[in-house]
A = this chain, B = another copy of it.
Amino acid sequence: MAYQNELNTSNRILMGPGPSDAHPRVLRAMSTPLIGHLDPEFVAVMDDIKEMVQKTLQTQNNLTFVVSAPGSAGMETCLVNLLEPGDEALICIHGVFGGRMVDIAERCGAKVTKVEAPWGKPIDPQDVKEALKSCRPKILAIVHAETSTGVLQPLEEISKMAKDAGALLVVDAVTSYCGADLKVDEWGIDAIYSGSQKCLSAPPGLSPVSFSDRAVAALDARQTKVQSWFLDLSLVKNYWAGQKRAYHHTAPVSAMFAMREALRLVLEEGLEARFARHQRNHALLRDGLEALGFEFLVDKQYRLPMLNAVKIPEGVNDATTRSRLLNEYNIEIGGGLGKFAGKLWRIGLMGESSTPNHVNMLLSALKELM
């Protein structure tokens, strides 16, 4: 029977919107021989991960764990558990991922009110305030780091408005987690999800999530079953946090080994030092790109350090240039998403990919190609 050749991939430099490069220690931990998903040693790994996710999210939330699927399943976990048919949701849209939240919330049967900002700008808290005059949302959902536009959304003012309106604050931190400050408890975030493959620099496939006590109370008060069995927190939480660690699904053991090691690396570096490193390398890249004539999409004070959205210069072919970067230099950068397809590049400096060497390799290659 015919079969495929040995895996033979190129040695890429990952500077797109994720995955980022993984540290060798993460790859090595992942290749540890398997143990069972109910083995007491694996339960200890889950406990370690939970504790380190709490630390990196700066939260004491007991319901903190990792969804066994990518970030978009983390998004769905938050929304399907907190929304029931007929519930109101206020969702902020300033890029692709806010739009995705609306799509999911509507599939939950929620009545969605949208607050929009032009792509490339943050949501204006005044618009949220205005919208809250005409709805009584159960949740207010917003993206902290819009991966499609490179905007860092300030959250504290909007969080206060959510509280005042009696709404739960749901935050997408897929791209900011472990790369920029994210104070879940201090900022009053009630439900948050992220991804493993951005500034945490673990392989893609897992989604750390956390729920406040207020969110847990809302889960407990549900009148209907969660529409997804796989993502139903009333079942999943018994596996992650129950006394008996009841079997729910078979956890991705190897991916959890990798995530554990990636979390150790984050805490060894320290959150403050890691955030400062992301800022430092962002500044290096910004100076270099501006010297080459690139313009950033986002105003300075709202730019993400780990995802640099720049306009493709006049006369530069998007597909050809990215493909030459990939084929001749092994460097991956990201194209535009949605309405920015063909107009933007998204350059990631995430986790292990946030180094001066990454910046220098890319700037040198771009100089040669342009």
Interfacial residues, chain A to chain B (CB-CB below 8 A): 1-4, 6-7, 9-12, 14, 16, 18-22, 27-42, 45, 48, 51-52, 55, 68-73, 76, 80, 100, 103-104, 106-108, 195, 197, 203-205, 225-230, 247-255, 257-258, 260-261, 263-264, 267-268, 270-271, 326, 332, 337
The residue from B4, B32, B68, B257 contacting A264, defined by CB atoms under 8 A apart: B4
Q: Which 6 A-B pairs have the closest CB atoms?
A: A205-B252, A31-B31, A3-B267, A69-B69, A203-B254, A72-B249
How many chain copies does the complex carry? Answer: 2
**Which residue of B204, B228, B250 is within 8 Å of A37 (Cβ)?**
B204
Note all chain B residues with C-beta closer than 8 A to A48: 4
Distance in angstroms from A333 CB to nearest chain B CB is 10
Chain B residues with CB under 8 Å of A3's CB are 52, 263-264, 267-268
Given contacts A4-B260, A36-B19, A229-B103, contact A205 B10 (CB under 8 A): no
Q: In the complex, which residue of chain B has the Cβ closest to the Cβ of A19?
A: B34
A-B contact pairs, 25 of them (CB 8 A): A1-B55, A1-B270, A3-B267, A4-B264, A9-B41, A12-B34, A14-B34, A18-B250, A19-B34, A22-B33, A27-B31, A27-B32, A27-B33, A30-B31, A30-B254, A37-B204, A39-B332, A40-B326, A68-B70, A71-B250, A72-B229, A76-B230, A107-B226, A197-B250, A205-B251
- Which chain B residues border A42 with CB–CB below 8 Å? 9
Q: How far is the CB of A44 from chain B (nearest CB, A)?
A: 9
